[in-house]
Amino acid sequence: MALAMDAAALNAFLAAEFPQVVPSHRVEEATEAGVQVRLTADPGQLRPGGTVSGPAMFGLADVAVYAALLSRIGPVALAVTTNASIDFMRKPAAGRDLIAEARLLKLGRSLAVADVLIRSEGEEAPVARASMTYAIPPKTA
Amino acid sequence: MALAMDAAALNAFLAAEFPQVVPSHRVEEATEAGVQVRLTADPGQLRPGGTVSGPAMFGLADVAVYAALLSRIGPVALAVTTNASIDFMRKPAAGRDLIAEARLLKLGRSLAVADVLIRSEGEEAPVARASMTYAIPPKTA
Amino acid sequence: MALAMDAAALNAFLAAEFPQVVPSHRVEEATEAGVQVRLTADPGQLRPGGTVSGPAMFGLADVAVYAALLSRIGPVALAVTTNASIDFMRKPAAGRDLIAEARLLKLGRSLAVADVLIRSEGEEAPVARASMTYAIPPKTA
Amino acid sequence: MALAMDAAALNAFLAAEFPQVVPSHRVEEATEAGVQVRLTADPGQLRPGGTVSGPAMFGLADVAVYAALLSRIGPVALAVTTNASIDFMRKPAAGRDLIAEARLLKLGRSLAVADVLIRSEGEEAPVARASMTYAIPPKTA
């Protein structure tokens, strides 16, 4: 199974189509096993104490799943999240980037499912886990 | 069952403790049946086409559940979201505020569960539904 | 919006297509607002103490969402659950039937989303809430 | 980190406390990385066509998470599932056992979180994924 897009192609696509998620998010790696995305939170994404907010972690998981999907099917701007479940398990370390690892568990014609683990950089214990479903628009001829 | 905080008290608490969620979020109503929270998205919360982003809808649901919880237990800054599931069902109407209605389904000593419906203002069909669990810190004497 | 199937039609369909879920499940009401399904647990669905098991509550929620869907689109045996999230909030009352109320929040061409509240008969406080997504197979000519 | 219970101890505990989940479920392995549980479905857990039902897969995920938790904290009959999310991704292979692999992502004082992958025996692609939260009762002196 070859990848349709590598990390550089994914970052270029995100910058063109979703400029607001760049530069805080960066795809660091895309392989057959999945993708790794880094979040360098901006001030609006922090909570008192300097930890990353829940919505920002949700956004990171979403970008990671989207990147994992695109790495396999190529640039499809119109894929949309239909469902997400997320567990917040530990407080992120203050002042540290978050690293999300997403792996695609199902790639169907119309639905894709992936799961994600998010860690503070340099920590083993995950701060959050998420699973998400994306709806893939039908190909038009 | 009396409310511990009304809409004005909730807005004052959010402004003091979570200044970054104000002014885009506003508690409009708090009753025994639940709370209603309005999101007036800022530019960073919009996606191409002018619709509200997924993370912003997640954040709105989170604020609404938090407000529903505080309306019953009073100002507890340290309650944290432990789990969330969300279904994105329709595209939000462009240029329209979102209105979230949250109702508390369980209020235990250490866990609270609520669900939320989010609509574009003036529309009947919901754009998203969410359910969330909050962990309530033990009272210290 | 007219209903495609009423409670009697739904029960007849379930008995024909899913005989194993009958007789423990019974559709009691189907209206435009949603459906109500009763679970009279059999011994294999009980846990020590006489309360209904988690898998049995999951099954009840699933039947209720399926019935809510069929009440609107008619008999489609091949619709399948793709996602479910469930919160178990209170212990069911021992020796009491469970009543599930499901309402359809989205009915699209290929996906339907519904949520469910489950109560012990005669109790106000819900024992569980669930939300589920069903994939609807494309119509064949 | 030593295990509090191995596979044999887990099976003995389940047989004593939850006789109705035995003999269809069997813990096959318990290591620091997680546990593996096999479901040999009985006729009541099958759907037309011979595939395992959704509630039975839910039950398998629940047993696997519970076993993963007990393998670390020892025999605690009163731990209860508070939240579950599950994605059904592929139809299970007919006439084949299901194998669940659960890993504990968080083990706190009062809450534990785990995720699970379920496969048909001998297949690589997962049929379902789940994540679950268990509430752990406080220790009584």
**What's the 3-state SS for C19-73?**
HHHCCCEEEEEEECCEEEEEECCCHHHEECCCEECHHHHHHHHHHHHHHHHHHHH
> At residue A27, does pLDDT exceed 60?
yes
Q: Which of A55, A58, A33 is nearest to A44 (CA)?
A: A55
D81 touches chain B (CB under 8 A): no
Query: What's the rounded Cα separation, in Å, for the pair D136 and D141?
Result: 15
Q: Where are the alpha helices (DSSP H) in D31-120?
A: 54-73
Q: What pTM does this model have?
A: 0.96
Q: What is the ipTM of this complex?
A: 0.94
**Chain A residue with the nearest C-alpha to that of C106:** A82
The answer to whether residues B41 and B52 touch, using CB atoms and an 8 Å cutoff, is: yes
**Chain B residue with the nearest C-alpha to that of D106:** B82
Nearest to B89 among C90, C113, C117 (CB): C113
Q: B140: pLDDT confidence band, cut at 50, 70 and 90? A: low
Rg (CA), chain C: 14
Write down the pLDDT at residue D120.
Answer: 97
Q: What value does the mean pLDDT of chain D take?
A: 94
Write down the pLDDT at residue A119.
Answer: 98
Write down the pLDDT at residue D141.
Answer: 45
Write down the pLDDT at residue B141.
Answer: 46
B49 touches chain A (CB under 8 A): no
B137 touches chain A (CB under 8 A): no
DSSP D45: G
Task: Please provide residue B137's backbone torsions phi and psi, each rounded to the nearest 5 degrees.
Answer: -65, 150
From chain A, the residues in CB contact with B86 under 8 A are 83-85
Write down the pLDDT at residue A87.
Answer: 98
Best probe of the B interface among D83, D133, D136, by most B CBs < 10 A, is D83
Nearest to D110 among B83, B85, B110 (CB): B110
Query: What's the rounded Cα separation, in Å, for the pair B103 and B126?
Result: 15
Write down the pLDDT at residue C69.
Answer: 97
From chain A, the residues in CB contact with D87 under 8 A are 105-106, 113, 131, 133
pLDDT (mean) for D27-40: 97
A85 touches chain C (CB under 8 A): yes
Write down the pLDDT at residue C140.
Answer: 56
> At residue B69, does pLDDT exceed 80?
yes
Q: To the nearest whole percent, how much of chain A has pLDDT over 90? A: 80
Domain boundaries, chain D: 7-135
User: What is the CATH superfamily name and number for domain A7-135?
Assistant: Hotdog Thioesterase (3.10.129.10)
Write down the pLDDT at residue A140.
Answer: 57
Instruction: Report helix angle D54-73 to C54-73, nearest 10.
Output: 150
Would you call the peptide bond into D23 cis, given omega within 30 degrees of 0 as the criterion? Answer: yes
**All residues at 6 or more sequence positions from C103 whose CB lies less than 8 Å from its CB, including other chains:** C33, C34, C68, C114, C115
Distance set, CA D65 to CA B55, C110, D39, D114 (Å): 29, 32, 14, 6
Neighbours of chain B (3+ CB pairs under 8 A): A, C, D
Min Cα distance A24 → chain C (Å) is: 30
Across the interface, whether the CB atoms of C58 and D54 are under 8 A apart is answered yes
**Chain C residue with the nearest C-alpha to that of D78:** C48
The continuous run of DSSP H or E covering A129 comes out as strand A128-135
From chain D, the residues in CB contact with C47 under 8 A are 18, 20
Burial of B136 (0-12, 13-18, 19+ CB in 10 A): middle
Query: What's the rounded Cα separation, in Å, for the pair D127 and C125?
Result: 34
C31 touches chain A (CB under 8 A): no
The answer to whether residues A136 and A79 touch, using CB atoms and an 8 Å cutoff, is: yes
C40 touches chain B (CB under 8 A): no
D91 touches chain A (CB under 8 A): no
Q: To the nearest whole percent, how much of chain D has pLDDT over 90? A: 80
pLDDT in tens, chain C (141 residues): 689 999 999 999 999 998 888 889 999 999 999 999 999 999 888 887 888 999 999 999 999 999 999 999 999 878 999 999 999 999 999 999 999 999 999 999 999 999 999 999 999 999 999 999 999 988 654
Q: Which of D97, D106, D17, D119 is nearest to D65 (CA)?
A: D106
Write down the pLDDT at residue C141.
Answer: 45
pLDDT (mean) for A123-132: 97
